[in-house]
């Protein structure tokens, strides 16, 4: 079977990403908030950890610290500014899933915020 990612001579190519020490997947320091806290919070809601979930929650936490509210477009824009290439649809689907699981809430103004119970888990109160 033809695989366009393999060389034509039949040899396999192994690619190892070269990341700078202390830099994240996209060449930037990805741990702005403690990812371990976010991972623990997701696990307490029975959700698997994924990079996009970590990034979306981190964007919501950053917005909350600066007393801003973000909708889907705002979160997507913030991720693009950080050179995190996620599609608008991916961000929207993650937000829907996090809402349905009770991790975040959709506010009346179509912005998202962390649910009180999720915030309590992040703060170590639950």
Tens digit of pLDDT for each residue in 96-112?
999 999 999 999 999 99
Q: Does pLDDT of 95 surpass 80?
A: yes
Q: Find how far residue 4's CA is from the centre of its chain.
A: 30
Query: Cβ(44)–Cβ(121) under 8 Å?
Result: yes
- The burial class, CB within 10 Å (0-12 / 13-18 / 19+), for 69 is middle
**Is the pLDDT reported for residue 28 higher than 50?**
no
pTM: 0.69
């Amino acid at each position: 079977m033809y695989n366009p990612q393999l060389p034509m001579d039949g040899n396999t190519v192994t690619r190892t990403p070269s990341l700078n020490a202390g830099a994240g997947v996209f060449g930037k320091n990805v741990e702005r908030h403690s990812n371990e806290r976010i991972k623990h919070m997701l696990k307490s809601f029975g959700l698997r950890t994924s990079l996009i979930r970590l990034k979306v929650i981190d964007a919501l936490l950053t917005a909350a610290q600066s007393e801003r509210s973000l909708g889907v477009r705002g979160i997507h824009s913030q991720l693009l500014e950080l050179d995190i290439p996620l599609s608008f649809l991916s961000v929207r689907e993650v937000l829907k899933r996090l809402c349905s699981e009770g991790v975040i809430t959709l506010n009346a103004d179509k912005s998202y915020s962390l649910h009180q119970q999720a915030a309590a888990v992040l703060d170590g109160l639950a």
